[in-house]
Structure 1
Amino acid sequence: MREIVVIKCGGSTISELSNEFFQSVVNMQQAGKRPIIVHGGGPAINEMLQKLDIKSEFVDGLRKTTSEVLETAEMVLCGKVNKQVVTSIQRAGGLAVGLSGCDGKLIEVRAVNEGMLGFVGEPIMINTTLLNSLMDQQLIPVIAPIGINESGTHYNVNADSAAGAVAKELEAEQLVFVTDVDGILKDGKCLDQVTATEIENYISDGTIYGGMIPKVRAALSTLTDTLQSVMIMNGKATTVGKDGSVKGTVIVKSKVKAHV
């Protein structure tokens, strides 16, 4: 079975992703891998909410989602941002299909805390049959993180959570977090690989700081027996290998000891 690679593109980087990044996604597919993109869109949502004079606030890092905020988020994520990503992949020579988590009940969710957060959901089931069917047809799925519950109500979903759920349910071999930095830097150089223990040490000594801390902890939380590595890479200045591979920092639970 070909390797599935789930690529999470943060909303803050989408408008600045390089042509080389999208070419690398197409190269992955041509090299025999099965890429899937899950994207955010926070800055674009904020801009539209401001234009429409709709107030929005965050609680514990999650956007409190009223019906007005949900309608705006769905319009921006599924309409504007999703189709931008699809178009960019197709300009690079691939074929992509844009989806929201509502299409084909792709991302079924339950409410996180409706009283406090409103229409914010967490994934409980992924329609892997739909995704595999699309990938079998040489299509690259591009997923906007809007989910649906059993009664048909739509919910806003954190893009990190959506990407992690897709990767776990598909038993993906790699999850890639696309950011605006090359990876985890130490003394100005990008580290090739770090373990969970090393990450905690780097947080303690200040090597990992600021916005990188939640990124690496989110990455660690997605690791399973099947999903054994998560990469953090730069989408603005992508280094693309001939085999469609990209460079960044790979996060693993622990380094495999060589057999003697």
Structure 2
Amino acid sequence: MIMSKLMLLIGREVIVMESVIVLKVGGSILEKLPDSFYEMIVELKNSGICEPVIVHGGGPEINRLLTQLEVKSPFVDGLRVTTKEVLDVAEMVMSGSINKRIVANLQKAGGTGFGISGVDYSLLEARPFDSTGDLGYVGEVANVNNAWLKMNMSHGGIPVISPIGMDESGQRYNINGDMAAAAVAQSLKGKLALISDIPGVMETIDGKQMIHTKLTKQQIESKIASGVIYGGMIPKIRSALNSLSAGASESVILNGLIPADLKNYMEGKEAGTKVIIDKEAHHV
């Protein structure tokens, strides 16, 4: 399937790119992803099917290091309370070891990955997520300065973004990876794929387990209320919804352990669970 093209104007140079897809890869799934996942990303880039961007998390590795350092880091509504010490650890783990590991995997697969933190080039301009200060240095994205991304993508690069942002005063913030990925997708008017270790939103109906291929906002809220959607899937699917309302062209939850799902999705075939705003959804 020939994807629609984006015309990106940088300075005097007009860059023609295929559809952008932002892949949010959480820390828990990172440890499970096969080499073929990265090979598929490189294949999609080189074949011109899409322009991939990776935004990653790092929760499990951050937790392990905080435990070793005997630093407490409670969660409130799914967000890590971030003191200065916790922020330093989160930045070291995500912008350091995890980011470079993903870049190395892309290089190994034959691609040109480049790692970047949201602090670099003020990529992710941040502001406090909670005005009360109870969450500490937890931020949200106020603006995405994407010119640097576009320039590198036009020269064959695959961006790998660590979700640490910074405000105008130079204060750094820890940003939820799903929220950061949604903001990048919105900025680039691209698709957002939340990479999981399951094939999509699943539900047992009449004794048979189904995968919902499409879900609307109303259906999602109903399934959260009933407990069908629970735990870590809640912020993922709400980030998918938020990205649509703010400008992302489409969002989907895909199984990263089956790389063919990513290719099938980009070729317009059925894969994962699409999150839509106002169309009638169904399950298969």
TM-score, with length taken from structure 1: 0.90
Aligned: 1:248 with 2:269? no
Q: 1:235 matched to which residue of 2?
A: 256
Is the contact made by 2:186 and 2:246 (CA closer than 8 Å) also made in structure 1? Answer: no
Q: 1:127 matched to which residue of 2?
A: 145
1:135-146 equivalent positions in 2, closer than 5 A: 135-146=153-164
Deviations 1:209-258, CA, capped at 9 Å, x for gaps? 443333222211211374232110111233254796583111111338xx
Which amino acid in the other structure matches residue 56 of structure 2?
H
Is the contact made by 2:164 and 2:174 (CA closer than 8 Å) also made in structure 1? Answer: yes
Once the two structures are TM-superposed, the CA of residue 46 in structure 1 deviates from its matched residue by 0.4
Greater CA deviation, 145-154 or 196-205? 196-205
- Which of residues 109, 131, 135 in structure 2 aligns to 1:117? 135
TM-score, with length taken from structure 2: 0.83
- CA RMSD, 1 decimal: 2.2
Which amino acid in the other structure matches residue 273 of structure 2?
T
Once the two structures are TM-superposed, the CA of residue 208 in structure 1 deviates from its matched residue by 3.3
Which one has more relative contact order, counting CA pairs under 8 Å at least 6 apart? 1
Which amino acid in the other structure matches residue 279 of structure 2?
K
Q: Distance in 2 between matches of 1:231 and 1:122?
A: 22
- Which of residues 7, 25, 33 in structure 2 aligns to 1:9? 25
The SS at the match of 2:72 is coil
Which amino acid in the other structure matches residue 94 of structure 2?
L
Which amino acid in the other structure matches residue 75 of structure 2?
F
Aligned: 1:34 with 2:51? yes
Aligned: 1:84 with 2:101? yes
Once the two structures are TM-superposed, the CA of residue 21 in structure 1 deviates from its matched residue by 1.6
Task: Mark the runs of 5 or more structure 1 residues left unpaired by the alignment.
Answer: none
Is the contact made by 1:228 and 1:252 (CA closer than 8 Å) also made in structure 2? Answer: no
Q: 1:19 matched to which residue of 2?
A: 35
- Paired residues in the alignment total 256
1:189-204 equivalent positions in 2, closer than 5 A: 189-203=210-224
Q: Distance in 2 between matches of 1:156 and 1:210?
A: 21
Which amino acid in the other structure matches residue 157 of structure 2?
L
Aligned: 1:181 with 2:202? no
Aligned: 1:99 with 2:123? no
Q: 2:238 matched to which residue of 1?
A: 217
Is the contact made by 2:187 and 2:247 (CA closer than 8 Å) also made in structure 1? Answer: no
Q: Distance in 1 between matches of 2:41 and 2:168?
A: 33
Q: Distance in 1 between matches of 2:81 and 2:226?
A: 34
Q: Distance in 2 between matches of 1:119 and 1:107?
A: 14
Q: Distance in 2 between matches of 1:161 and 1:147?
A: 12
Q: Distance in 1 between matches of 2:246 and 2:129?
A: 26
The SS at the match of 1:88 is helix
